[in-house]
């Protein structure tokens, strides 16, 4: 079985997220999604609308996702890859090059972002219209 992992906050799920998850799943048989814990988001200075447990429940309902785990630190990726026997690490191309060090442990693939959609854009648009 070929296992894939991706990381993110996955707050306010949108078509860009779904495209990433669908395309990530195409690289293997089993997709693990590591989502930022509430404590890790706080460390990053990032505020999510939904709590970790809510985001986890939402992602577990997406047909491309086989398992959801917590991301608590930037440094845990190597441990996650080894612990979950990951073959492919997938991220959006806005992170291109940032995770190349993981090539010592698995394949690293950067996928193009979906044009015209992001959580930041959604929040900005809502604030303009609110």
Residues classed as catalytic: 44, 46
Cα separation, 10 vs 60, whole angstroms: 12
CB burial of residue 77 (10 Å; 0-12, 13-18, 19+): buried
Cα separation, 128 vs 130, whole angstroms: 6
Using an 8 Å Cβ cutoff, are 12 and 49 in contact?
yes
Sign of the four-CA dihedral 19, 23, 24, 26: positive
């Amino acid at each position: 079985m070929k296992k894939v992992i991706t990381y993110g906050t996955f707050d306010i799920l949108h078509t860009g997220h779904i495209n990433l998850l669908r395309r990530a799943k195409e690289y293997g048989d089993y997709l693990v999604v590591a989502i930022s814990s509430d404590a890790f988001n706080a460390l990053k200075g990032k505020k999510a609308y939904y709590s970790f447990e809510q985001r986890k429940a939402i992602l577990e309902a997406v047909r491309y996702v086989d398992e959801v785990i917590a991301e608590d630190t930037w440094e845990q990726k190597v441990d996650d890859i080894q612990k979950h026997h990951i073959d492919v690490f997938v991220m959006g191309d806005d992170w291109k090059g940032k995770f190349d060090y993981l090539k010592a442990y698995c394949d690293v693939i950067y996928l193009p972002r979906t044009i015209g959609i992001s959580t930041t854009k959604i929040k900005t648009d809502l604030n303009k219209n609110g």
